[in-house]
Amino acid sequence: MPATPSAAPGRLDVVRRLINTRDIEAGTDALSTPRGCVRWLRQEGLLARSVSTFSRAEADQLVAAREALRSALAAGEGGLDDDVLAELNSAAEAACLTIRFTPTGSWKVHSSADGVWQAIGRLVSIVIEAMADGTWSRLKVCADDGCRWAFYDRSRARSARWCSMRVCGNRAKQRAWRAREVPRGRLVP
């Protein structure tokens, strides 16, 4: 986990927090059990109070949606592979997403599903709204394969690659330096 994760604006931060429920570096996952999934979704206000438990299959659906979103962020503007597209489209369909127009002349994505699919639908609707307002492209995952933490890129050029320059960025620079110095015989063990 980075020292200073960069929060995303508004509701998009819920998606960042969802992705960060799995800490690859520490080997922990807040969504590893059905109870953990219910607890996290309820804490984030994404689950109806009437839902008290999930099956293992429902918990697996939430984890699959989280990992598809992580992959979508990692792809950036490079395009999504077929498996990620299929997972995200399947989640949107199972969540029964529809668009509702508001009295103010705007729109809102709505999920008419129940349980885990309603929660996933709410998450997907946040992503859709972020795509529409332009904030989605700034939500990224750390380029360090040992981290993959989600962060919001606030750099002017939108070019941040690591969740933390002090931690993951420094590790990457050290690895690059070692890769250059070892062939030259300059690295002392």
pLDDT per position as a tens digit, 20-71: 999 998 999 999 999 999 999 999 999 988 999 999 999 999 999 999 999 9
pTM (2 d.p.)? 0.85
**Rounded Cα gap, residues 166 and 15, in angstroms:** 24
94-61-162 Cα angle (round to 5): 110
pLDDT per position as a tens digit, 87-130: 999 999 999 999 999 999 999 999 999 999 999 999 999 999 99
User: 7 in the Ramachandran plot: left (φ > 0), alpha (ψ -120 to 50) or beta?
Assistant: beta
CA 37, 30, 18, 10 torsion-angle sign:
positive
3-state secondary structure of 61: helix
